[in-house]
């Protein structure tokens, strides 16, 4: 029996059949849902136990009412002949490596008015347990009963039969996971009228204009370093948007000067603010570095500690991104002009965090070079900030369907 293999995490004590076979959706961007998300935001930001988890605090800030209303306004075209409706039942399969990222897409789907069934990994951490307890408390309130009846969060070990059951009944399937996981799940059919959003493994980088960095005032340089560290070290550098490659742009002598200053301050900041990394991470980085040295034309840059490991590439072309293990391992490449970045770009590149290059210059680069990869270009420090446009998808729009009414 499928029920015997499931653990219902949210709402507690609920029979998941009730949500699965719910025949109605909620209106798009209803006041009730907006108020629920805002109440959750306020609770996260006020409760002291959440302060130990910066990713949850960032989520609480993202969920505040003014921001949610802006997201809705940005996604409405206000056409008199279009009505935007929820798609129906959305089956979300959450990732195992980054606990909180799926929550953003879940809440955008909730905002769209959908019924949501979320399969959560058994590897989830303490921050998810904390969030689930808060959500269960809020779902017990009568004012949010309509929302609670349309949300079910479950956990089960990998089981094709269970995944097939939920897939058979969904109007949309959202898959977060590694390439092999996604390939396996996509072999399980969904209804012919359903659609699918896959969020596969991606690889991200930071792009720094060396001369602009060298000219920075000390205070601004320190601020940039802290922003880079936040991008790189949350989630152990294993989020799809975590920078793992640094592309330095400019003259070689200026690049070398910039790198010396940059990594000296990164090391000092990490030494003062981050505890020693695990022995397993140290070993994994050494193994990855030496495998890269065997397989590619690279140079391993000597480090004074175990916090940072650097590998200098002669080119990004054909780089084996699968060898990267996170935990402070950085590939580096030097380019003279922006178009050379194309050698680093594949369909696997998600986010480019940038410093010292104008937004207009970057826009022209994308329009001129038409990269097959790159989904986001953001200032360094914003790589992990979730956006309703993610991996090239406009999520709030994709979570809805449009009824076109013509004369």
DSSP string spanning 163-213?
A: HHHHHHH-SEEEEES-HHHHHHHHTS---TT-EEEEE---EEEEEEEHHHH
- What does the pLDDT read at residue 16? 67
Q: Write out pLDDT tens, residues 314-323.
A: 877 767 777 7
What length is written for the chain?
407
Contact 200, 345 (CB under 8 A): no
- What does the pLDDT read at residue 345? 86
Q: Write out pLDDT tens, residues 248-261.
A: 999 999 999 999 99
Domain extents in the chain: 2-201+391-404, 203-379
Nearest CA-CA partner of 224 in 330, 352, 329, 356: 356
User: What torsion do the CA atoms of 332, 336, 337, 341 make, to the nearest 10 degrees?
Assistant: -30
- What does the pLDDT read at residue 265? 93
Contact 59, 38 (CB under 8 A): no
Contact 90, 117 (CB under 8 A): yes
The reported pTM is 0.90
Cα–Cα distance measured from residue 147 to residue 5, given in angstroms and rounded to the nearest whole number: 25
- What does the pLDDT read at residue 299? 78
- What does the pLDDT read at residue 324? 79
- What does the pLDDT read at residue 22? 63
- What does the pLDDT read at residue 288? 75
- What does the pLDDT read at residue 300? 78
Q: Write out pLDDT tens, residues 37-66.
A: 999 999 999 999 999 888 899 999 999 999
> Does 203-379 carry CATH code 3.40.309.10?
yes
CB atoms within 10 A of CB 89: 22
Query: Token pair 């879940």 is at which residue?
Result: 106
DSSP state of 71: H
Cα–Cα distance measured from residue 55 to residue 38, given in angstroms and rounded to the nearest whole number: 17
Return phi, psi of residue 139, to 5°: -70, -15
Nearest CA-CA partner of 59 in 105, 8, 115, 92: 105
Cα–Cα distance measured from residue 344 to residue 131, given in angstroms and rounded to the nearest whole number: 38
CB atoms within 10 A of CB 280: 10
Cα–Cα distance measured from residue 117 to residue 109, given in angstroms and rounded to the nearest whole number: 11
Cα–Cα distance measured from residue 306 to residue 293, given in angstroms and rounded to the nearest whole number: 18
Q: Which residues of the chain have pLDDT under 70?
A: 1, 13-16, 18-23, 77-80, 97-99, 123-124, 274-276, 294-296, 318
CATH topology of domain 2-201+391-404: Aldehyde Dehydrogenase; Chain A, domain 1 (3.40.605)
């Amino acid at each position: 029996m499928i029920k015997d293999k499931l653990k219902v995490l949210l709402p507690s004590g609920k029979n998941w059949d009730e949500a699965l076979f719910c025949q109605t959706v909620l209106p798009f961007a209803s006041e009730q849902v907006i108020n629920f998300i805002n109440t959750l935001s306020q609770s996260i930001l006020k409760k002291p136990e959440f302060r130990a988890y910066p990713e949850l605090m960032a989520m609480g800030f993202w969920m505040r009412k003014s921001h949610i209303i802006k997201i809705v306004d940005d996604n409405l075209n206000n056409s008199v002949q279009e009505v935007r409706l929820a798609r129906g039942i959305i089956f979300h399969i959450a990732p195992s490596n980054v606990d909180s990222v799926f929550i953003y897409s879940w809440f955008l789907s909730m905002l769209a008015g959908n019924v949501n069934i979320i399969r959560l990994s058994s590897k989830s951490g303490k921050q998810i347990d904390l969030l689930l307890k808060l959500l269960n408390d809020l779902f017990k309130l009568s004012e949010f009963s309509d929302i609670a009846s349309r949300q079910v969060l479950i956990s089960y070990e990998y089981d094709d039969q269970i995944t097939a059951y939920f897939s058979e009944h969904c109007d949309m399937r959202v898959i977060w996971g590694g390439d092999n996981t996604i390939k396996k799940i996509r072999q399980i059919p969904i209804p012919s009228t359903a659609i699918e959003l896959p969020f596969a493994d991606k690889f991200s980088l930071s792009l720094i204009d060396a001369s602009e960095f060298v000219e920075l005032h000390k205070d601004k340089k320190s601020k940039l370093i802290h922003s880079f560290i936040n991008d790189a070290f949350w989630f152990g550098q294993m989020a799809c948007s975590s920078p793992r490659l640094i592309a330095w742009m400019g003259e070689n002598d200026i690049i070398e000067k910039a790198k010396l200053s940059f990594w000296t301050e990164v090391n000092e900041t990490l030494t003062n603010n981050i505890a020693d990394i695990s022995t397993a991470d140290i070993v994994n980085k050494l193994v990855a570095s030496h495998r890269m040295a065997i397989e590619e034309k690279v140079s391993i840059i000597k480090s004074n500690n175990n916090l940072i490991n650097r590998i200098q590439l002669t080119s990004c072309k054909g780089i084996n991104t699968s060898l990267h293990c996170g935990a402070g391992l950085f590939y580096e490449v030097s380019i003279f002009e922006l178009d050379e970045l194309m050698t680093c770009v594949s369909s696997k590149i998600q986010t480019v965090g940038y410093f010292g290059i104008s937004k207009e210059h970057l826009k022209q680069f994308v329009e001129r070079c038409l990269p097959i990869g790159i989904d986001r270009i953001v200032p360094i420090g914003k790589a992990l900030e979730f956006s309703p446009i993610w991996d090239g998808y406009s999520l709030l729009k994709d979570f809805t369907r449009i009824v076109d009414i013509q004369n």
